[in-house]
Chains A and B, each alone.
Chain A
Amino acid sequence: DTEVTQTPKHLVMGMTNKKSLKCEQHMGHRAMYWYKQKAKKPPELMFVYSYEKLSINESVPSRFSPECPNSSLLNLHLHALQPEDSALYLCASSSRTGTGSPLHFGNGTRLTVT
């Protein structure tokens, strides 16, 4: 079990659909992250939020739209995805963005785009 909860665990969507991934933590952490992981590859950073503000966007296509409604919640809105976007999407949080603060990960949402 992790302290970062991601829903849904699995998602299948068509290329014309709009869907959202949700992430929640109640550890009082003020930094939250989205990572993408393709099969047999390491996780790749997508976005970083610090104190509910977007601080890092790793040149992610606009069909991925992050949102941080409050300090406990992080969403990733998906629209017009491609089959190559199929991956495990991981959310993480840390007390702050500094080097001494470990990231705690959820178990991810496995996304399949058909």
Chain B
Amino acid sequence: DAKTTQPPSMDCAEGRAANLPCNHSTISGNEYVYWYRQIHSQGPQYIIHGLKNNETNEMASLIITEDRKSSTLILPHATLRDTAVYYCIVRSDRGSTLGRLYFGRGTQLTVWP
């Protein structure tokens, strides 16, 4: 599976946009980029995923570069409740990796009042 690189921590002021970067330079053509977050003592929460095009839903936007080697998760108006660990995951369907979703270390986002 393609590996991902994320900064270990980031801060953001409440009400401002939070832009979380992720590098996945070894991504293959059939691999999706997924974003999850985990608030303390809860299960991971699905945020968004994409293959090539930018995606937007009610929670966030996902911007994938044209070469697909990196992506950015954007929370347009961060709130205190967005404080969490954010995981960027590249998911493959190749051979023995079918069905596997591997988590990296993620980025601890702290939103300040």
Contacts and interface: CB of A to CB of B under 8 A. Distances in A.
> Do most interface residues of chain B lie in helix, strand or loop, or is the interface mixed?
loop
Given A105-B43, A105-B44, A48 B100 contact: yes
A31 B103 CA distance: 18
Interface of A: 2, 4, 31, 33, 42-45, 48, 50, 55-56, 90, 92, 97-100, 102-108, 110
Contacts of B14: none
Contacts, number: 58
Interface string B32-71: 1010000001111110010100000000000000000000
Given A42-B103, A50-B99, A56-B99, A100 B32 contact: yes
What's the interface size class on B, roughly? 20 to 34
B59 to A, nearest CB: 12
Interface of B: 30-32, 34, 41-46, 49, 51, 87, 91-93, 98-106
Contacts of B42: 107-108
Given A43-B103, A48-B99, A56-B100, A102 B34 contact: yes
Nearest to B35: A102
